[in-house]
Homo-oligomer: A and B are copies of this chain.
Amino acid sequence: MRSGMQFLSDNAAPVHPKLWEAMRAADKPDTPYDTDALSRELDARFTALFGRECAALWVATGTAANCLALATMVDPHGGVVCHEEAHIEMDECGAPGFYLHGAKLLLAGGAGAKLTVETIGEVLSGITRGVHQVPAQAISITQASEYGMVYRPDELAAIAALAKEHGLGLQMDGARFGNAAAFLGCSPAEAAGSVDALSFGMVKNGGMGAEAVILFDPAKADTIRYRRKRAGHLQSKGRYLAAQILAMLDDDLWLQNARAANALATEIAASAGDRLIYPVEANELFVRMNQEERSALRSQGFAFIDWNDTCVRMVTSWATNPDHATALGKAIAAL
Protein backbone atom coordinates (compact mmCIF):
# COMPACT_ATOMS: atom_id res chain seq x y z
CA MET A 1 0.00 0.00 0.00
CA ARG A 2 3.07 2.19 0.40
CA SER A 3 3.17 2.76 -3.31
CA GLY A 4 -0.51 3.62 -3.04
CA MET A 5 -1.76 7.10 -2.35
CA GLN A 6 0.91 8.76 -0.31
CA PHE A 7 0.07 11.37 2.31
CA LEU A 8 2.51 10.18 4.96
CA SER A 9 4.88 13.05 4.68
CA ASP A 10 6.34 15.45 2.16
CA ASN A 11 9.55 13.60 2.94
CA ALA A 12 8.12 10.56 1.24
CA ALA A 13 8.05 12.29 -2.14
CA PRO A 14 10.73 11.67 -4.74
CA VAL A 15 13.29 14.18 -6.00
CA HIS A 16 12.19 16.82 -8.47
CA PRO A 17 13.39 16.26 -12.07
CA LYS A 18 14.99 19.70 -12.24
CA LEU A 19 17.21 18.72 -9.34
CA TRP A 20 18.30 15.54 -11.02
CA GLU A 21 19.26 17.61 -14.02
CA ALA A 22 21.22 20.03 -11.92
CA MET A 23 23.06 17.27 -10.08
CA ARG A 24 23.97 15.56 -13.32
CA ALA A 25 25.20 18.84 -14.73
CA ALA A 26 27.50 19.10 -11.73
CA ASP A 27 28.85 15.60 -12.29
CA LYS A 28 32.41 16.28 -13.26
CA PRO A 29 35.67 16.60 -11.37
CA ASP A 30 35.69 19.62 -9.12
CA THR A 31 37.32 20.80 -5.95
CA PRO A 32 36.07 19.14 -2.80
CA TYR A 33 33.99 20.26 0.17
CA ASP A 34 32.47 23.69 -0.37
CA THR A 35 35.20 25.15 -2.51
CA ASP A 36 33.46 24.39 -5.80
CA ALA A 37 31.87 27.08 -7.92
CA LEU A 38 28.30 26.05 -7.11
CA SER A 39 28.77 26.17 -3.37
CA ARG A 40 30.41 29.53 -3.67
CA GLU A 41 27.42 30.87 -5.53
CA LEU A 42 25.04 30.36 -2.65
CA ASP A 43 25.74 33.54 -0.72
CA ALA A 44 25.00 35.76 -3.69
CA ARG A 45 21.89 33.89 -4.74
CA PHE A 46 20.25 34.08 -1.34
CA THR A 47 21.37 37.65 -0.88
CA ALA A 48 19.49 38.44 -4.06
CA LEU A 49 16.47 36.41 -3.01
CA PHE A 50 16.14 38.10 0.37
CA GLY A 51 17.29 41.54 -0.68
CA ARG A 52 19.71 41.74 2.19
CA GLU A 53 23.18 40.43 2.68
CA CYS A 54 23.40 36.92 3.96
CA ALA A 55 25.62 33.90 4.02
CA ALA A 56 24.19 30.57 2.90
CA LEU A 57 25.50 27.08 3.55
CA TRP A 58 24.27 23.67 2.59
CA VAL A 59 23.71 20.86 5.04
CA ALA A 60 21.99 17.53 4.65
CA THR A 61 19.15 17.90 7.14
CA GLY A 62 16.91 20.36 8.84
CA THR A 63 18.04 19.06 12.20
CA ALA A 64 21.59 20.07 11.42
CA ALA A 65 20.46 23.34 9.88
CA ASN A 66 18.50 24.38 12.95
CA CYS A 67 21.14 23.31 15.43
CA LEU A 68 24.07 24.87 13.60
CA ALA A 69 22.23 28.17 13.40
CA LEU A 70 21.24 28.10 17.06
CA ALA A 71 24.83 27.35 17.98
CA THR A 72 25.79 30.81 16.74
CA MET A 73 23.38 32.36 19.23
CA VAL A 74 23.36 30.28 22.36
CA ASP A 75 26.03 29.38 24.89
CA PRO A 76 26.21 25.91 26.37
CA HIS A 77 24.81 27.43 29.55
CA GLY A 78 22.05 29.28 27.74
CA GLY A 79 18.52 28.57 26.64
CA VAL A 80 16.33 28.70 23.57
CA VAL A 81 12.68 29.63 23.84
CA CYS A 82 10.67 27.38 21.55
CA HIS A 83 7.19 25.98 21.33
CA GLU A 84 6.49 22.95 23.48
CA GLU A 85 5.53 21.06 20.33
CA ALA A 86 8.37 22.35 18.17
CA HIS A 87 10.26 19.83 16.10
CA ILE A 88 13.51 20.61 17.92
CA GLU A 89 11.81 19.67 21.18
CA MET A 90 9.72 16.73 20.05
CA ASP A 91 11.35 14.99 17.13
CA GLU A 92 15.08 15.45 16.98
CA CYS A 93 16.26 13.06 19.66
CA GLY A 94 17.81 15.82 21.67
CA ALA A 95 19.85 17.23 18.80
CA PRO A 96 19.85 20.75 20.28
CA GLY A 97 21.28 19.31 23.48
CA PHE A 98 24.07 17.79 21.42
CA TYR A 99 24.85 20.73 19.16
CA LEU A 100 24.40 23.34 21.87
CA HIS A 101 26.32 21.29 24.41
CA GLY A 102 23.57 20.95 26.94
CA ALA A 103 21.80 24.27 26.45
CA LYS A 104 18.17 24.08 27.46
CA LEU A 105 14.99 24.40 25.47
CA LEU A 106 12.64 26.72 27.34
CA LEU A 107 9.16 25.65 26.39
CA ALA A 108 6.33 28.03 25.63
CA GLY A 109 2.76 27.50 24.55
CA GLY A 110 0.71 28.99 21.76
CA ALA A 111 -2.20 27.87 19.58
CA GLY A 112 -1.36 25.89 16.48
CA ALA A 113 2.21 25.43 17.69
CA LYS A 114 2.90 29.12 17.08
CA LEU A 115 4.66 31.19 19.70
CA THR A 116 3.29 34.59 20.58
CA VAL A 117 4.76 37.60 22.28
CA GLU A 118 2.68 36.64 25.29
CA THR A 119 3.78 33.04 25.54
CA ILE A 120 7.42 33.95 25.00
CA GLY A 121 7.07 36.70 27.54
CA GLU A 122 5.78 34.27 30.14
CA VAL A 123 8.88 32.17 29.79
CA LEU A 124 11.16 35.16 29.97
CA SER A 125 9.46 36.59 33.01
CA GLY A 126 9.97 33.31 34.82
CA ILE A 127 13.73 33.71 34.62
CA THR A 128 14.45 35.55 37.81
CA ARG A 129 16.87 33.52 39.84
CA GLY A 130 20.20 34.55 38.37
CA VAL A 131 22.75 31.83 37.83
CA HIS A 132 20.42 29.17 39.15
CA GLN A 133 18.51 29.25 35.86
CA VAL A 134 19.74 29.21 32.31
CA PRO A 135 19.43 32.60 30.64
CA ALA A 136 17.35 32.79 27.47
CA GLN A 137 19.59 33.68 24.54
CA ALA A 138 17.47 32.87 21.51
CA ILE A 139 13.96 32.25 20.26
CA SER A 140 13.21 29.57 17.69
CA ILE A 141 10.05 29.71 15.62
CA THR A 142 8.79 27.39 12.92
CA GLN A 143 7.42 28.74 9.66
CA ALA A 144 5.04 27.00 8.89
CA SER A 145 4.48 25.54 12.36
CA GLU A 146 4.29 21.88 13.32
CA TYR A 147 0.55 22.18 12.70
CA GLY A 148 0.93 23.81 9.33
CA MET A 149 0.06 27.27 10.53
CA VAL A 150 1.78 30.35 9.26
CA TYR A 151 3.17 33.36 11.10
CA ARG A 152 1.89 36.57 9.54
CA PRO A 153 4.37 39.41 8.95
CA ASP A 154 2.99 41.41 11.85
CA GLU A 155 3.36 38.45 14.18
CA LEU A 156 6.94 38.00 13.03
CA ALA A 157 7.62 41.68 13.57
CA ALA A 158 6.27 41.55 17.10
CA ILE A 159 8.41 38.55 17.98
CA ALA A 160 11.48 40.11 16.41
CA ALA A 161 10.90 43.26 18.42
CA LEU A 162 10.65 41.22 21.58
CA ALA A 163 13.84 39.36 20.71
CA LYS A 164 15.64 42.60 20.10
CA GLU A 165 14.37 44.11 23.32
CA HIS A 166 15.74 41.19 25.29
CA GLY A 167 18.93 40.80 23.27
CA LEU A 168 17.91 37.37 22.02
CA GLY A 169 18.81 35.71 18.74
CA LEU A 170 15.90 34.76 16.50
CA GLN A 171 16.02 31.59 14.48
CA MET A 172 13.44 30.22 12.09
CA ASP A 173 12.96 26.54 11.34
CA GLY A 174 11.76 26.77 7.77
CA ALA A 175 11.39 23.10 6.98
CA ARG A 176 8.22 24.20 5.20
CA PHE A 177 9.24 27.79 4.58
CA GLY A 178 8.20 27.51 0.96
CA ASN A 179 4.70 26.47 1.96
CA ALA A 180 4.48 29.41 4.33
CA ALA A 181 5.70 31.89 1.72
CA ALA A 182 3.31 30.44 -0.83
CA PHE A 183 0.43 30.84 1.61
CA LEU A 184 1.35 34.41 2.49
CA GLY A 185 1.85 35.38 -1.12
CA CYS A 186 4.54 37.74 0.00
CA SER A 187 8.25 38.04 -0.63
CA PRO A 188 10.63 35.59 1.03
CA ALA A 189 11.94 38.49 3.06
CA GLU A 190 8.48 39.19 4.45
CA ALA A 191 7.83 35.52 5.15
CA ALA A 192 11.04 35.34 7.15
CA GLY A 193 10.70 38.63 8.96
CA SER A 194 13.70 39.90 10.83
CA VAL A 195 15.14 36.58 11.86
CA ASP A 196 18.87 36.21 12.33
CA ALA A 197 18.98 32.77 10.80
CA LEU A 198 16.70 30.68 8.67
CA SER A 199 16.73 26.98 7.90
CA PHE A 200 15.42 27.18 4.36
CA GLY A 201 13.88 23.77 3.79
CA MET A 202 14.38 22.03 0.47
CA VAL A 203 14.10 18.31 1.13
CA LYS A 204 10.38 18.28 1.91
CA ASN A 205 9.87 20.45 -1.14
CA GLY A 206 11.51 18.40 -3.89
CA GLY A 207 15.11 18.07 -2.73
CA MET A 208 17.13 14.94 -2.14
CA GLY A 209 19.49 15.77 0.70
CA ALA A 210 20.25 19.49 0.88
CA GLU A 211 18.89 22.26 3.06
CA ALA A 212 20.16 25.81 3.20
CA VAL A 213 21.16 27.59 6.39
CA ILE A 214 20.83 31.32 5.87
CA LEU A 215 22.63 33.70 8.20
CA PHE A 216 21.57 37.30 7.93
CA ASP A 217 24.63 38.25 9.92
CA PRO A 218 27.23 36.83 7.53
CA ALA A 219 29.96 37.36 10.12
CA LYS A 220 28.57 34.38 11.96
CA ALA A 221 29.02 32.09 9.01
CA ASP A 222 32.56 31.24 10.04
CA THR A 223 31.38 29.70 13.27
CA ILE A 224 28.94 27.54 11.33
CA ARG A 225 31.58 26.53 8.83
CA TYR A 226 33.74 25.13 11.62
CA ARG A 227 30.82 23.58 13.41
CA ARG A 228 29.52 21.99 10.23
CA LYS A 229 32.86 20.31 9.63
CA ARG A 230 33.09 19.20 13.21
CA ALA A 231 29.61 17.70 13.01
CA GLY A 232 30.58 15.64 9.99
CA HIS A 233 28.30 17.68 7.76
CA LEU A 234 30.91 19.11 5.44
CA GLN A 235 30.37 16.63 2.65
CA SER A 236 33.33 16.25 0.37
CA LYS A 237 31.26 16.39 -2.79
CA GLY A 238 29.32 19.43 -1.74
CA ARG A 239 28.65 20.49 -5.29
CA TYR A 240 25.80 17.99 -5.47
CA LEU A 241 24.11 19.68 -2.55
CA ALA A 242 24.71 23.14 -3.91
CA ALA A 243 23.34 22.06 -7.26
CA GLN A 244 20.08 20.99 -5.65
CA ILE A 245 19.67 24.26 -3.84
CA LEU A 246 20.48 26.41 -6.84
CA ALA A 247 18.06 24.44 -8.99
CA MET A 248 15.40 25.04 -6.41
CA LEU A 249 15.97 28.78 -6.64
CA ASP A 250 15.92 28.84 -10.43
CA ASP A 251 12.59 30.14 -11.65
CA ASP A 252 11.34 29.99 -8.07
CA LEU A 253 10.94 26.25 -8.25
CA TRP A 254 10.74 26.17 -4.45
CA LEU A 255 7.69 28.40 -4.63
CA GLN A 256 6.06 26.56 -7.50
CA ASN A 257 6.44 23.27 -5.67
CA ALA A 258 5.08 24.70 -2.46
CA ARG A 259 2.12 26.24 -4.20
CA ALA A 260 1.26 22.93 -5.78
CA ALA A 261 1.38 21.17 -2.44
CA ASN A 262 -0.63 23.85 -0.70
CA ALA A 263 -3.31 23.86 -3.37
CA LEU A 264 -3.96 20.16 -2.94
CA ALA A 265 -4.06 20.45 0.81
CA THR A 266 -6.57 23.25 0.49
CA GLU A 267 -8.67 21.14 -1.82
CA ILE A 268 -8.72 18.24 0.63
CA ALA A 269 -9.43 20.61 3.50
CA ALA A 270 -12.58 21.77 1.82
CA SER A 271 -13.90 18.25 2.15
CA ALA A 272 -12.71 17.74 5.69
CA GLY A 273 -14.81 20.56 7.09
CA ASP A 274 -15.02 20.61 10.83
CA ARG A 275 -12.96 17.51 11.14
CA LEU A 276 -9.98 19.83 10.83
CA ILE A 277 -8.21 20.49 14.10
CA TYR A 278 -6.33 23.43 12.63
CA PRO A 279 -7.09 25.62 9.65
CA VAL A 280 -5.09 24.46 6.66
CA GLU A 281 -2.64 27.16 5.68
CA ALA A 282 0.23 25.17 4.27
CA ASN A 283 0.39 21.53 3.20
CA GLU A 284 -0.55 19.65 6.34
CA LEU A 285 -3.96 18.49 7.47
CA PHE A 286 -4.76 17.34 10.98
CA VAL A 287 -8.04 15.53 10.62
CA ARG A 288 -10.19 14.24 13.46
CA MET A 289 -10.84 10.58 12.81
CA ASN A 290 -11.64 7.47 14.79
CA GLN A 291 -9.98 4.12 14.34
CA GLU A 292 -12.62 2.68 12.03
CA GLU A 293 -12.45 5.70 9.80
CA ARG A 294 -8.68 5.44 9.63
CA SER A 295 -8.94 1.81 8.66
CA ALA A 296 -11.52 2.60 6.04
CA LEU A 297 -9.27 5.13 4.38
CA ARG A 298 -6.26 2.89 4.56
CA SER A 299 -8.16 0.06 2.97
CA GLN A 300 -8.77 2.40 0.06
CA GLY A 301 -5.03 2.89 -0.37
CA PHE A 302 -4.37 6.13 1.48
CA ALA A 303 -1.22 6.34 3.55
CA PHE A 304 -0.99 8.80 6.46
CA ILE A 305 0.21 9.04 10.03
CA ASP A 306 -1.70 8.43 13.25
CA TRP A 307 -0.87 11.69 14.96
CA ASN A 308 -2.62 10.79 18.20
CA ASP A 309 -5.86 9.24 19.37
CA THR A 310 -7.83 12.22 18.15
CA CYS A 311 -6.50 12.88 14.71
CA VAL A 312 -4.39 11.79 11.79
CA ARG A 313 -1.88 13.84 9.86
CA MET A 314 -1.98 14.02 6.08
CA VAL A 315 0.62 15.89 4.08
CA THR A 316 0.68 16.86 0.45
CA SER A 317 3.80 17.59 -1.56
CA TRP A 318 4.89 18.94 -4.94
CA ALA A 319 4.64 15.33 -6.16
CA THR A 320 1.23 14.49 -4.87
CA ASN A 321 -0.95 13.17 -7.64
CA PRO A 322 -3.90 15.58 -7.93
CA ASP A 323 -6.21 12.64 -8.54
CA HIS A 324 -5.10 11.15 -5.26
CA ALA A 325 -5.87 14.39 -3.50
CA THR A 326 -9.30 14.59 -5.06
CA ALA A 327 -9.89 10.99 -4.13
CA LEU A 328 -8.80 11.63 -0.58
CA GLY A 329 -11.13 14.59 -0.27
CA LYS A 330 -14.05 12.53 -1.46
CA ALA A 331 -13.12 9.64 0.78
CA ILE A 332 -13.01 11.87 3.83
CA ALA A 333 -16.30 13.49 2.92
CA ALA A 334 -17.82 10.06 2.57
CA LEU A 335 -16.76 8.83 5.98
Q: Which residues in A have some Cβ–Cβ distance to B below 8 Å?
A: 2-3, 6, 8-9, 11-15, 20, 23-24, 27-33, 59-65, 67, 75-77, 79, 90-104, 129-135, 203-204, 207-209, 223, 225-237, 240-241, 319
Q: Report the minimum CB–CB distance from A13 to chain B (whole Å).
A: 6
User: Quick one: which of B32, B59, B130, B227 contacts A11, CB cutoff 8 A?
Assistant: B32
Inter-chain contact A95/B27, CB cutoff 8 Å: no
Please name the residue on chain B nearest to A5 by beta carbon. B29
Inter-chain contact B32/A235, CB cutoff 8 Å: no
Please name the residue on chain B nearest to A76 by beta carbon. B101
Q: Which residues of B contact A67 (CB under 8 A)?
A: 232
Complex Cα distance A172/B173, Å?
36
Name the 6 nearest CB pairs between A and B, nearest first: A97-B102, A64-B232, A63-B232, A11-B236, A11-B32, A93-B229
Complex Cα distance A79/B92, Å?
13
Given contacts A76-B98, A102-B101, A236-B203, contact A90 B133 (CB under 8 A): yes
Inter-chain contact A131/B15, CB cutoff 8 Å: no
Inter-chain contact B98/A97, CB cutoff 8 Å: no
Given contacts A60-B232, A76-B76, contact A30 B2 (CB under 8 A): yes
Q: Which residues of B contact A99 (CB under 8 A)?
A: 232
Supplied contacts A203-B237, A231-B232, 13 more A-B pairs, CB within 8 Å: A2-B31, A8-B31, A23-B208, A60-B235, A61-B232, A63-B229, A76-B230, A93-B133, A94-B230, A97-B102, A97-B103, A102-B230, A131-B229
Given contacts A29-B6, A135-B226, A227-B77, contact A11 B234 (CB under 8 A): no
Inter-chain contact A209/B237, CB cutoff 8 Å: yes
Given contacts A12-B31, A32-B12, contact A234 B131 (CB under 8 A): yes
Given contacts A3-B29, A237-B203, contact A93 B77 (CB under 8 A): yes
Complex Cα distance A273/B57, Å?
43
Complex Cα distance A77/B3, Å?
33
Q: Which residues of B contact A23 (CB under 8 A)?
A: 208
Inter-chain contact B95/A97, CB cutoff 8 Å: no
Complex Cα distance A59/B229, Å?
14
Q: Which residues of B contact A227 (CB under 8 A)?
A: 76-77
Q: Which residues of B contact A134 (CB under 8 A)?
A: 93-94, 226, 230
Complex Cα distance A53/B228, Å?
33
Q: Which residues of B contact A101 (CB under 8 A)?
A: 76, 97-98, 101-102
Complex Cα distance A278/B237, Å?
27
Q: What are 19 pairs between A and B in contact, CB < 8 Å?
A: A3-B30, A8-B32, A14-B27, A15-B240, A60-B60, A63-B229, A64-B233, A65-B232, A75-B226, A77-B227, A79-B94, A94-B230, A97-B97, A97-B230, A130-B225, A203-B235, A204-B236, A207-B237, A209-B240
